Structure 1
Amino acid sequence: METQQNSRLDVLNPIIYIAPFFLWGTAMVAMKGIMLQTTPLFLGALRLLPAGILVLIFAMATKRARPQSWKAWGWILLFALVDGAMFQGFLAEGLLRTGAGLGSVMIDSQPLAVAILCRWLFKDMIGFWGWLGLLVGIVGISLIGLPDVWISNFFQGNWGEFYFSWQGLFNNGEWLMLLASLSMALGTVMIPYIARHGDTVVATGWHMILGGLMLLLVSATVETNQWINIDLSGWLSISYATIFGSAIAYGVFFYLASKGNITSLSALTFLTPVFALSFGNLVLEEKLSSLQWGGVCLTLMSIYLINQRKILNKKWQNFIANFAGLNVREKIDP
């Protein structure tokens, strides 16, 4: 009986780890489809507020402990500002000004920032294979999201056109996606500190509610006609992005972040643009070029390198030791 339960957990474990990134990728497609029916900050607030309420209902049902100290509430408030209001605000504003694929590339550069922050804050060893995986992943998501002509100009040495394209890039809102990426990275490395003062699932729910209220306040100040143009399909898309893309995805991600290696978990974020572009192709009829498919392969390779870096490092050390031992034996007994 116990063996059957363990086998079921072994099957479910990779699905649970991949679930947040699948949900985020598909939620990006849902959000992009309704951007013209609403306003970005209001949409960001809708992704956070109902999702936070759902997470807290789950926390109450499972009898999770409430925050007990001012330090706990202080970390939750900071978490709400950085990973709630700033991340969702930058994401929604950036998505309004750019495509879902390119925006996903910019956001999913955050594992590199997470790896550097974890190395600095937690002394998390990345190692050769980890850094190689991160670099391969960045190349992969760049091939997925960057226009083919930019890549061609880069390798053909057309630096003037390439520079002009980057100038236009930052005028079109991708820099907001980079800010969203940095906000998510900072929020991710906050999790161990938050876990010291309270339950991470409860903190996730409250950070969504507080972050959503911040965005709602700013939306009420600077935006108009937030909901009058939203049709039934739009509300269904918002519901999916809220329930699955926020409540479930955030809850699972931050729970896993509190239990495991943050660098390895964050590296799986490279899957998000893969799912976003795949479902964009199915739902929005977006086509992938040969360079983008190459980026998908590199992305999957980067995930393997980062998550298996310790095993690969041991195998490499054993190979070097065996190779050195073989050379020594050949010299002694030619």
Structure 2
Amino acid sequence: MMTIFLYSLMCFIFGTTFLAIKVGVDEGFPPFLSAGIRFMAAGAILYVLLLARKKTTWKLLWRKELMLTGLSLTFITFACLYWAEQFISSGIAAVLSASAPIMIILIQTALLRVKITKASICGVLLGFLGVVCLFLPGLSIAWDIHWIIGCGIILIGQIGYAAGSIYSGKTVETFKEESPMALNAVQMIYGGLLLLLLSLFTGETAPAITMPGFLSIVYLTLAGSMIAHTIYYYLVAKTNAFLPSTWLYVSPLIALTIGRLFYKEIVHPVMLIGVMLILCSLVLVNLEKIMQIISIKKMASSK
């Protein structure tokens, strides 16, 4: 029961973060500044707590591997996401962000020459059709160049996330003795620092603080970056590496629902088709892992 509760809580938090980002940028908080504050604060707090509990050491801060992970996983991904949410709805941002596994497959195939299954190929094609459906409202219903660019920028961010995910797998192997939470905290620190530097370079200025904008940053820092990720690593330790990652199947639907109910975001029928295609593509891309888990459970129950 505890595992189910924590999994549900994690999915809910991840699903609501996209609307929280949207609220912050709509309140006039500069995207790179708010993202930088969020990740710098979350990473620093987690790292200090782990240091206090002697779960890590200061030397981890100086490792270039974690700098590179922070560059790809946090900086590229969230610089693109925060900027794009100035122009597109939070629900669509969540669905496009779920395309990361598809990007991982493409990178592994194109650059690493990894052979993929027919199911994965079908999943990539379905995902591409789904993305096209999400682009269509900006193309045909009302020509909106900002919508189109925003969708494209999020996809670029997911390429960064996919590359970072592949690289972080090697990083975890390199630092087997370190807590995964410590590794995540340090990469968030570097990602947050780079976001703050980008904010400074682009000339973002501190906004007039509003209560919704302030609460969005607090929520994203504490719930989105600290609580949800802590639950994620707890579930990895208690279950398996795949189960927690299935938040990608659930959270986009949560994001679409709360965006429509509480922020009056428009959800066009064409978008819903795109959502279902992308979610189906995720199943196909991960079909082999899903079948492995099902077979393991069947074997365990038969004993």
TM-score bracket, shorter-length normalisation: 0.7 to 0.9
Residue 250 of structure 2 is aligned to residue 246 of structure 1: no
Which of residues 65, 68, 72 in structure 2 aligns to 1:75? 65
Correspondence for 2:155 among 166, 175, 178: 178
1:173 to partner: Cα distance: 3.6
Aligned CA-pair RMSD = 3.9
Taking only the aligned residue pairs, the percentage that are identical comes to 23
The equivalences for 1:262-273 within 5 A come to 268-273=247-252
Give the C-alpha shift of residue 193 in structure 1: 1.6
Q: In the TM superposition, what is the alpha-carbon distance from 1:205 to its structure 2 partner?
A: 0.6
- Name the CA distance, whole Å, in 2 between partners of 1:187 and 1:149: 29
Does 1:146 find its partner at 2:126?
Answer: no
The one of 25, 34, 40 equivalent to 2:31 is 40
2:297 match: none
CA distance in structure 2 between the aligned counterparts of 1:109 and 1:311, rounded to whole angstroms: 18
Deviations 1:258-281 (A, max 9, x none): 99567x876753544322211101
Q: Does 1:226 align with 2:206?
A: yes
Structure 2 unaligned spans of 5+: 295-303
> 1:44, CA displacement in angstroms?
1.2
Q: For the residues of structure 2 that align with 1:311 and 1:46, how far apart are their CA atoms?
A: 37
Mean Cα deviation higher: 204-213 or 246-255: 246-255
In structure 2, the residue matched to 1:130 is 120
TM-score (norm 1): 0.70
- Aligned mates of 1:191, 1:96 — CA distance in 2: 29
| Unaligned residue ranges in structure 1 (runs of 5+) | 1-7, 154-160, 316-334
CA distance change for structure 1 residues 176 and 10 in 2, over 3 Å: closer, same or farther? Answer: closer
Deviation at 1:85, TM superposition (A): 2.2
Q: Summarize the Cα distance change of 1:296–1:85 in structure 2 as closer, same or farther, 3 Å threshold.
A: closer
- 1:264-283 to structure 2, matched below 5 A, reads 268-283=247-262
- The residue number in structure 2 matching 1:114 is 104
Alignment of 1:303-318 (within 5 A): 303-309=282-288
Instruction: Report if aligned partners of 1:83, 1:187 keep a CA contact under 8 Å in 2.
Output: yes
Q: Is the 8 A contact 1:204 1:254 kept in 2?
A: no
Per the TM alignment, residue 244 of structure 1 is displaced from its structure 2 partner at its CA by 1.7
How far residue 251 of structure 1 moved from its aligned partner, in angstroms, is 4.4
Rate the CA distance shift 1:194–1:131 in 2: closer, same or farther, 3 A.
Answer: same
Residues 230-288 of structure 1, C-alpha deviation per residue, up to 9 Å, x if partnerless?
211221111111222222334455677799567x8767535443222111012102243
* Whole-angstrom distance in 2 between the partners of 1:310 and 1:107: 21
* SS in structure 1 at match of 2:20: helix
What is the number of residues matched between the two proteins?
289
Amino acid at match of 2:162: A
Structure number with larger C-alpha Rg: 1
- Counterpart Cα distance in 1 of 2:101 and 2:58: 29
Does 98-107 or 239-248 show the bigger shift?
A: 98-107
For 1:64, the equivalent position in structure 2 comes to: 55
Task: Work out whether residues 77 and 210 of structure 1, in 8 Å CA contact, stay in contact via their aligned partners in 2.
Answer: yes
Q: Does 1:211 align with 2:203?
A: no
Aligned partner of 1:226: which letter? A
Counterpart residue number, 2:164: 187
> How far does the alpha carbon of each residue in 1:74-103 deviate from its partner, in whole angstroms, 9 at most, with x for none?
111111222222222222222224333443
Amino acid at match of 1:66: T
Residue 93 of structure 1 pairs with residue 92 of structure 2: no
Are residues 219 and 75 of structure 1, via their aligned partners in 2, closer, same or farther at CA, if it must alter by over 3 Å?
Answer: same
